[in-house]
Structure 1
Amino acid sequence: MTRPDLQLVARALTTPPHALAAPWLPHVRAAGLGGALRARLPQDHPWRPALRADALGQGARHAVIRRAVFALYTRWLDAGIPAILIKGFALAEFEYAHDGARFYGDVDVLIPPDPETVVRAVNVALAHGWRSDGLHAHPEAWTHESVHLLSPDGQVRLDVHRFLPSNWLAGTARSAALSRGLWQRARQVNWQGVPALRLHPLDEVVVAIALGRCWGGDRGGLKGADYLDLELLCRHYGLQAAELAAHAAHLGATQTWKAFWQLCNPLQGQLELRPAVTAPLLQAAAARDGVKRRPQVLGRLRRVLELAPYLFTGLGDMLRAMWAVRRGGDPRTHLQGWTPATAVHIRLSLPQVNRTVSAVRLLTRWLHPRQKREGVCVPRAYATYRALRRLGYPAVFVSGVARSGAGVTGHAWVESDRGPLDAYGEPFNRRQFRVLFQWPPQD
């Protein structure tokens, strides 16, 4: 798969259609912006035929996702569970003119943060065939998200938020206060005859996009879609620079917004996507707004103590995995030997699963320090599968391939019987890779 040149992507999004240069096209497509850019081009533009497949593929995918999300959303409404549609899915559904014009990964919703509401929402989803990763049963482990749900057909991953933006840097109290404001300002829209909640346009821009990038896990990394989203929202709702700055100031994000607007300003045609440029500027601005990275020493020490028992037992799993890789042969032979003959009856707690997966990831990094992800995916997946199965957990080993330029790239990973493992950190593998086989085989 082509790695996009972010400078060329930014130029393609900020350049008038008649001045687009042919070498930029593969970089736009690799960034997932083909459908979005096609929607902006005149009918006779030479790029439109090349981008047609991108738009059709994204449109078909959005239609599938819309059906599943709409059905669950209406059932939540019937149960008296409010939910605000946020981020990429909401923008694709309500702001973009064509279904294939806005690529996004998972679907994000914001629901009230109290455990009772979260559990009720999950129970409704489970009753209609959705699967939960189990996080909802562990409030002590919640971050800005309280659960991840997978649709019955496995095509939709729903990230259920309790806070927006993330509390990772902003802190729980601040994120909770900002989230309460989002609920107070939320607007009701008509969604196929159903009343649905969306963020206020000012919150869509300042909180969901800007603070979402600067105060959370992205830590100052911007995406091309941010520019397109801001451009649409500003145009649809007549948002002006002074109004956006005033809202940011009201939220205590004056410096963060000022820096973000310098880097991503569709009113002036300005966009910078290179992390080496954006991250230092945005992190420094966030710090001036009181959002600072927490001291790492104590956190790392606590993490090492948590993982120590798992690292000790996981080392044996990793060494066996490395031996299997060197031996070669059909992976299913090794996997069958690591799969207990009796049915799995034990379901580990979510913290146990997460620590087992994290320990193997850390061991992989230590024992393969010079190799990239693609070079260690098999030993990591082998070791993770073996460790989880040894503990009685119903892990699933998956092998897939994807086109990479003129060749093919292979990849291996591990899921649970309910879908992607959040701790594994690769929730979209089945979209990026065509599955060759999984073990144990599907019934």
Structure 2
Amino acid sequence: MTPDPAVLVRALTTDPPHVEPGDVPHLLAAGLAGQVRVRLPEDHPLRARLRPGHLALGARHAQIRAELRPLIAVWAREGIPALLFKGFALAEFEYSTPGERFYGDVDVLLPADLPTVTRAVHLALAHGWRSDGLHAAPARWTHECAHLFSPGGHVRLDVHRLALSLLSGSPARVQALTDALWADAEAVDWDGLNIWRPHPRDALVINLALGRQWGADVGGLKPADYADQVQLLSRHPLSESDLQRRAQELGAGHTWAAFRALCDPGRRQVNLGGPHPALVRAVRRDGVHRRRARWARQLGRVLPLLRVMVPLLPDVLAAWRALRAGGDPRRHLARWTPAGPPRALPLAEVHDVISAARWLTRLLYPRQSRIGTCVPRAYTTYRALRRRGHPAVFVSGVARGAQGVQGHAWVEDVHGLLEAYDEPFNRERFPEVFHFPAR
């Protein structure tokens, strides 16, 4: 289900949380069961109902931690500094129990030079980890330079070379912000492993506020933005003047001020939803034009993609016919799935097919939203990848919210979510109904 923002705001900003029995499904869906439960009195009747969600996130974190630490240990022995940040690191180091903080992937920042990244990935491969191939295509690097998957399959490790998305500004500006993060980073003994963590001030300003507002989520706020601030501000001696001064040093004074105006634990205020116009204006005043940068990057790829779009026309036509025919999607998918074992395509070719399918879908279904075009896009992408032999997987999910039941479809592969598909939270938003072919 889609959580009700009013329920989440009330649960986050009241202490002890003012929650009712009908709020429990919303808290579970938002990953806030543990965060709310630990703040309830011991005799509160809802603690028992929130306990399974709290324990489930804690168990998941323990599994991820167990599979991640051996790789970090290998890197430490080889002299590769690893800076852990964002969700996993906050759950591990800042919250009283890791089951209080939901996160998806694990994020680590490595030095940006090609030899270090290459050596780090090769060490991971030698110890049973898998890569989707991004590390071997530097021309396609964004702020991330590798995606690694643990031997047990519980960890997707996003390896960053830059602290923020390149949508945040020029490469020089993003590099300067990354250098600033490294300069004040703190060495931490993680139960016998030497790692790096952002200075708490930078965890708030750079990773939290700028990471959200100068990236793809400009103008939006999430429950974790409030909860993370509560933890960082309560555990570290950070004053408002120190944080504002740091933001000014980084050229982000307007963004930080607008962010705090909408999300401030000191005033028990958080305004979920968005995009919030005040935040969008503040980001622009700080010189970040995310949409302009994103469209410039997209348009810069259109001409090279023409050579891919033309061969995709049979796939687009097949998707259109399947939509008109209706019925069980698996009937069409089975017809498009060649017999015999698949073979993984090079990452560059996978990205080109996904991008070309997205552009063609936008052109052919201009009046519909992304959700409205999800099935033709997924059909086209699946058929195009399978026709080339790549092990694509069609996934159908559904969510229940205030507006009723909403379905969605997307494409993954044997590694899971595809970065180029640009829908990283599908599995959190839309619990799976089926996937094809069965794994």
**Same fold judged by TM-score > 0.5?**
yes
Pairing of 1:80-91 with structure 2 (within 5 A): 80-91=79-90
Mapped partners of 2:328, 2:24: distance in 1: 39
Q: Is the 8 A contact 1:401 1:408 kept in 2?
A: no
The Cα offsets for residues 343-389 of structure 1, whole Å up to 9 and x where unpaired, read as 555733x3332121122223334444565666654443332122123
Q: Does 1:126 align with 2:122?
A: no
State the 1:103 CA deviation.
0.5
Distance 1:36 1:301, change over 3 A: same
The Cα offsets for residues 22-77 of structure 1, whole Å up to 9 and x where unpaired, read as 55444333322222111222212233222122112211111111111112111111
Letter in 2 for 1:313: P
Q: Is the 8 A contact 1:245 1:254 kept in 2?
A: yes
Mapped partners of 1:37, 1:291: distance in 2: 35
Mapped partners of 1:254, 1:405: distance in 2: 36
Moved more, 429-438 or 91-100: 429-438
Other-structure match for 1:71: 70
Other-structure match for 1:385: 382
State the 1:323 CA deviation.
2.3
Other-structure match for 1:420: 417
Other-structure match for 1:267: 266
Mapped partners of 1:88, 1:252: distance in 2: 25
Mapped partners of 1:105, 1:234: distance in 2: 23
State the 1:93 CA deviation.
0.5
Q: Is the 8 A contact 1:224 1:273 kept in 2?
A: yes
Distance 1:305 1:113, change over 3 A: same
Other-structure match for 1:292: 289
State the 1:240 CA deviation.
1.6
Mapped partners of 1:223, 1:297: distance in 2: 25
Q: Is the 8 A contact 1:154 1:419 kept in 2?
A: no
Secondary structure of the 1:109 match is strand
Distance 1:49 1:402, change over 3 A: farther
Moved more, 43-52 or 288-297: 288-297
Moved more, 31-40 or 320-329: 320-329
Mapped partners of 2:110, 2:97: distance in 1: 27
Backbone CA RMSD of aligned residues: 2.8
The Cα offsets for residues 207-258 of structure 1, whole Å up to 9 and x where unpaired, read as 1101111211211211111111111111111212112112222222222211
Q: Does 1:216 align with 2:215?
A: yes
Equivalent residue for 1:364, pick from 361, 382, 387: 361
Other-structure match for 1:311: 309
Q: Is the 8 A contact 2:167 2:293 kept in 1?
A: no
Mapped partners of 2:287, 2:400: distance in 1: 43
Q: Is the 8 A contact 1:201 1:237 kept in 2?
A: yes
Distance 1:326 1:170, change over 3 A: same
Pairing of 1:77-116 with structure 2 (within 5 A): 77-116=76-115
Q: Is the 8 A contact 2:219 2:275 kept in 1?
A: no
Report the TM-score, using the length of structure 1 for normalisation: 0.89
Q: Where does structure 1 differ by over 6 angstroms across 4 or more consecutive aligned residues?
A: 405-410
Q: Is the 8 A contact 2:210 2:255 kept in 1?
A: yes
Q: Is the 8 A contact 1:150 1:419 kept in 2?
A: no
Kindly tell me the number of residue pairs found equivalent between the two proteins. 436
Distance 1:22 1:389, change over 3 A: closer
Aligned-pair identity in percent equals 51
Equivalent residue for 1:397, pick from 378, 393, 407: 393
Mapped partners of 2:286, 2:357: distance in 1: 37
State the 1:125 CA deviation.
1.4
Letter in 2 for 1:173: A
Mapped partners of 2:419, 2:17: distance in 1: 43
Mapped partners of 1:63, 1:184: distance in 2: 30
Mapped partners of 1:31, 1:135: distance in 2: 31
Other-structure match for 2:55: 56
Moved more, 296-305 or 307-316: 296-305
Mapped partners of 2:233, 2:223: distance in 1: 16
Moved more, 159-168 or 45-54: 45-54
Other-structure match for 1:36: 35
Secondary structure of the 2:9 match is helix
Other-structure match for 2:15: 16
Distance 1:251 1:196, change over 3 A: same
Q: Which residues of structure 2 form unaligned runs of 5+?
A: none
State the 1:340 CA deviation.
3.9
Other-structure match for 2:345: 347
Distance 1:96 1:313, change over 3 A: same
Mapped partners of 1:81, 1:409: distance in 2: 45
Letter in 2 for 1:309: R
State the 1:204 CA deviation.
0.8
Letter in 1 for 2:310: F
Mapped partners of 1:401, 1:286: distance in 2: 34
The Cα offsets for residues 101-145 of structure 1, whole Å up to 9 and x where unpaired, read as 000111111001111111111111112222212111122221111
Q: Which residues of structure 1 form unaligned runs of 5+?
A: none
Distance 1:319 1:153, change over 3 A: farther
Mapped partners of 1:88, 1:341: distance in 2: 41
Q: Does 1:191 align with 2:226?
A: no
Moved more, 412-421 or 72-81: 412-421
Letter in 2 for 1:80: G
Letter in 2 for 1:174: R
Moved more, 112-121 or 84-93: 112-121
Letter in 2 for 1:74: A
Moved more, 225-234 or 314-323: 314-323
Other-structure match for 1:323: 321
Secondary structure of the 2:267 match is coil
Secondary structure of the 1:290 match is coil
Report the TM-score, using the length of structure 2 for normalisation: 0.89
Moved more, 423-432 or 33-42: 423-432
Secondary structure of the 1:17 match is coil
State the 1:190 CA deviation.
2.2
Distance 1:289 1:425, change over 3 A: closer
Q: Is the 8 A contact 2:220 2:274 kept in 1?
A: yes
State the 1:401 CA deviation.
5.0
